[in-house]
Amino acid sequence: MNNKRPDLPVIVLGAGGHAKVLIDLMLHQPIRIIGITERDNIDHYRPVLGIPVIGSDDTILKYPVSDIQLVNGVGSGANLAGRTRVFDYFKNLGYSFAILIHSSALISEYVEVKEGVQVMAGAIIQAGSLLGCNTIINTRVSVDHDCIIGNNVHLAPGVTLSGGVIVGDGTHIGTGATVIQNIHIGRNSLIGAGAVVVGNVPDNTVVMGVPGRVIKYR
């Protein structure tokens, strides 16, 4: 479940708040950080926790794909499109993304973790679960047994998934939301902060409230 190539140094894409949390995670692990890249206005950015901004995203292209790994520091609110674009762009060029797991996270050895997954402090992932590519499992998230989390998903801080939950690609589940067992949440959906999901959610749907109700379609 750890970084497949811990010997390779990393470059972090993005210099915002999410990148700061990831850099803090890596500074406490044997990971060498070359620097940070940003898309625009690079002169505006100062070092993040002592790690310098080394240029625009194009700077990455100076490094052979075999010599580095990337860390997707682009955060996401309700919209995961920007983070997904960054991941897909560099994957198509042949680059790989590191798996990052905070030292305080508790993850069963029977969890499958795909490329680019980021698991933050205090998260718990139980046996039989799968975490899809480029997915964020944020601070103190609880994922119970046999959950299937798709690609490019964000489980925001404090989310609780009971056993057997399926979350489709590109879905954001907001801070403190709870999903009961065996629920299927479709692709590209949005679950509002604090919602309690007690029924299946179709693709491209916004759900809010207690109990969760469909507010609109995206």
Q: Which residues are catalytic?
A: 145
- HSE, CB side, 13 Å, CA atoms: give it for residue 119: 28
- What is the rounded CA–CA span in Å between residue 177 and residue 160? 6
Output DSSP code: residue 23: H
Q: Where are the alpha helices (DSSP H) in the chain?
A: 17-27, 81-92
- What is the rounded CA–CA span in Å between residue 98 and residue 32? 12
Spatial CA neighbour of 150 closest among 173, 166, 127:
166
Cβ–Cβ under 8 Å, residues 163 and 144 = yes
Cβ–Cβ under 8 Å, residues 179 and 171 = no
Spatial CA neighbour of 166 closest among 146, 195, 152:
146
